[in-house]
A and B are shown apart, each in its own frame.
Chain A
Amino acid sequence: MSSRLRASSAERNAGVKIQIDAGVCQGHGRCYDLAPSLFGDDEEGYGKVLGDGVVPLEKEDDARRAQLNCPEHAISLIEGT
């Protein structure tokens, strides 16, 4: 029962995954300004995805905000992963 609960919550949480196209990112830093729990910066200031990139449900708005404010269109949200 408890394992079934965990599985279902994992399925639900795996709705959206974020990716940064490193060839396009120029280090504007909007993603890690707006969604610091999902994005960080490397030692040169380029954006990087924290962890495995799977966005918890309650952070999906933050992920979208980061995507929509990236001046270089470097961020993708992959739905239904």
Chain B
Amino acid sequence: MADNRFAQQHWEKRNAESPGIRSEIVTGPVTDWATDFSHAEPEWAADPYSIQDDLRQRCPIAHTNRFGGGWLVTRYEDVAAIAHDTEHFSSRSIIMGNFRPPRELAPIGGSPPITSDPPFHHDARTLLLPAFTKTAVGKREPAARQLCHSLIDALEGQEVVDAAADYAQHIPVRVIADMLGFPAQDGPQFRDFAKDTLEGINMPLSERVTRKSALFYYLLAQVHDHLDNPRDDLTTFLINAELHGRKLDVSHVVGTMTLLLIAGIDTTWSAIGASLWHLAKYSRDRERLIANPELLPTAIEELLRAYAPVTMARLVKQDVNFGGAEMKVDDWVLVSFPAANRDPAQFDRAGEVIIDREVNRHAAFGLGIHRCLGSHLARMELQVALEVWLQRIPAFTLADPADVRWSAGQVRGPRALALRIGG
């Protein structure tokens, strides 16, 4: 029997209905980070750490009226408490911007399971877990290694290379394209989709809807291609998957595909890029890893702690006093894992990168039920990307420290990273 879940009339109707709460777009320089913060501004992108360190000392919970109202938590203890508290904080939207999806979208949300709350969350997540275990992702290591070598082959003969654009970003894009069964040549489109979603938070909402639709139609075309030519990948898996005795509806299939495509790209790209930035800047750490490659897994954890790329957002479910902050229903809460990871109350010498740090309970992949589904994949990609780079290009420095460009928003990493090869 034909699978009509993905027939046009079913999803067009759903796509046309977009109730939700819209707020005024406020941009421009921040007056006071404690009362007017914005993670979309260039000064945040340039150096969020000094802002967060300052807030942690004097606030420690900051507020803003931008984005329709929200909070920023900076202490490890508060970040952990909110990440574990699904009673008061919903994942119905996890990107803080000027649109809140309707409350009825909970507990599923637009991109299950990252946007899901209990009890639905558990079953939607359990569907995906087997594909993302350390063993499962380990099978992709040889292909990732080969890709890294070929990317470095292509850099040959250049004195200055952009390690963010010409190396780091290609790795997660290729890996996730393979896992979903999408054409590798569509990579540049995926990066636009990810950028629009994560960095375009202050775009006019009509523009945001247009770009979101482009992503939806792209994914739907992939679903149809897989219906015609089923194969052994995550897209075919999602099309056939059952939850509670029923196949997933179109919004769940496409929503999860959105999550897998978007969440794996900028995040891992950022982690690889930030690690290379650190090693270019601090030659002692780089030389130590060259001399002791077995230290790399420990160093990667420390680089993840210090340069954790991902901040998550929650929506307040009902009015609550959290640590003295009077949070109102539908306020955003920005749960800064990067700030938690630099909290001196949790880590000795929190502001320093100690590449052989032995005890490292960092929260780079989140805490609680939403622990990053792709954490084992990200770690594999980081290990391979850095290992191959250091083998092939052991000596490199920042070509121009002032010229490194970091992304704003909830995923932070270098988007332009010019490195000078050799001495």
Residue positions of A touching B, CB distance < 8 A: 26-29, 32-33, 41, 43-45, 65, 68-72
Interface CB pairs A-B, < 8 A, 9: A26-B371, A27-B129, A28-B375, A29-B134, A33-B297, A41-B135, A45-B376, A71-B362, A72-B367
Which residues of chain B have C-beta atoms less than 8 A from A29's C-beta? 134, 375-376
> Among the listed stretches B26-34, B208-216, B237-245, B353-361, which one makes contact with chain A, having 4 or more residues with CB under 8 Å of it?
B353-361
Asked if residues B367 and A43 are in contact (CB atoms below 8 Å), the reply is no
Alpha-carbon distance between A26 and B301 when the two chains are bound, in angstroms: 17
Which residues of chain A have C-beta atoms less than 8 A from B135's C-beta? 41
Asked if residues B369 and A26 are in contact (CB atoms below 8 Å), the reply is yes
Asked if residues A44 and B371 are in contact (CB atoms below 8 Å), the reply is no
Asked if residues B371 and A69 are in contact (CB atoms below 8 Å), the reply is no
Smallest CB–CB gap between B1 and chain A, Å? 31
B363 at interface, CB cutoff 8 A:
yes
Which residues of chain B have C-beta atoms less than 8 A from A43's C-beta? 130, 133
Asked if residues B134 and A44 are in contact (CB atoms below 8 Å), the reply is no
Alpha-carbon distance between A72 and B362 when the two chains are bound, in angstroms: 10
Choose among A41, A44, A68, A72 the residue that contacts B359 (Cβ–Cβ < 8 A).
Answer: A68
Residue positions of B touching A, CB distance < 8 A: 126, 129-130, 132-135, 297, 301, 358-363, 365, 367-369, 371, 375-376, 379
Which residues of chain B have C-beta atoms less than 8 A from A26's C-beta? 367-369, 371
Q: Give the one of A26, A33, A45, A70 with max B CB within 10 A.
A: A45
Choose among B126, B362, B365, B369 the residue that contacts A44 (Cβ–Cβ < 8 A).
Answer: B126
Alpha-carbon distance between A26 and B126 when the two chains are bound, in angstroms: 12
Alpha-carbon distance between A24 and B392 when the two chains are bound, in angstroms: 41
Which residues of chain B have C-beta atoms less than 8 A from A70's C-beta? 361
Asked if residues B129 and A45 are in contact (CB atoms below 8 Å), the reply is yes
Alpha-carbon distance between A71 and B347 when the two chains are bound, in angstroms: 13
Q: Give the one of B126, B132, B134, B369 with max A CB within 10 A.
A: B134
Main secondary structure on chain B at its contact with chain A? helix
Asked if residues B133 and A41 are in contact (CB atoms below 8 Å), the reply is yes
Contact A45-B365, Cβ < 8 Å, known A29-B375, A68-B359, A69-B359: no
Smallest CB–CB gap between B384 and chain A, Å? 15
Asked if residues A28 and B359 are in contact (CB atoms below 8 Å), the reply is no
Alpha-carbon distance between A43 and B133 when the two chains are bound, in angstroms: 7
Considering only CB atoms, which chain B residue lies closest to A32 in the complex? B134
Contact A68-B361, Cβ < 8 Å, known A26-B371, A27-B371, A44-B126: yes
Asked if residues A69 and B367 are in contact (CB atoms below 8 Å), the reply is no
Alpha-carbon distance between A28 and B369 when the two chains are bound, in angstroms: 11
Asked if residues B367 and A71 are in contact (CB atoms below 8 Å), the reply is yes
Alpha-carbon distance between A27 and B367 when the two chains are bound, in angstroms: 10
Asked if residues A44 and B368 are in contact (CB atoms below 8 Å), the reply is no
Alpha-carbon distance between A71 and B340 when the two chains are bound, in angstroms: 12
Which residues of chain B have C-beta atoms less than 8 A from A41's C-beta? 133-135
Which residues of chain A have C-beta atoms less than 8 A from B358's C-beta? 65, 68
Asked if residues B361 and A71 are in contact (CB atoms below 8 Å), the reply is yes
Contact A44-B129, Cβ < 8 Å, known A26-B371, A29-B376: yes
Choose among B133, B134, B360, B368 the residue that contacts A69 (Cβ–Cβ < 8 A).
Answer: B360
Which residues of chain B have C-beta atoms less than 8 A from A65's C-beta? 358-359
Smallest CB–CB gap between B235 and chain A, Å? 21
Considering only CB atoms, which chain A residue lies closest to B364 in the complex? A71
Asked if residues B367 and A45 are in contact (CB atoms below 8 Å), the reply is no
Contact A69-B361, Cβ < 8 Å, known A45-B132, A45-B133: yes
Which residues of chain A have C-beta atoms less than 8 A from B132's C-beta? 45
Considering only CB atoms, which chain B residue lies closest to A68 in the complex? B359
Which residues of chain B have C-beta atoms less than 8 A from A28's C-beta? 365, 371, 375
Alpha-carbon distance between A41 and B136 when the two chains are bound, in angstroms: 11
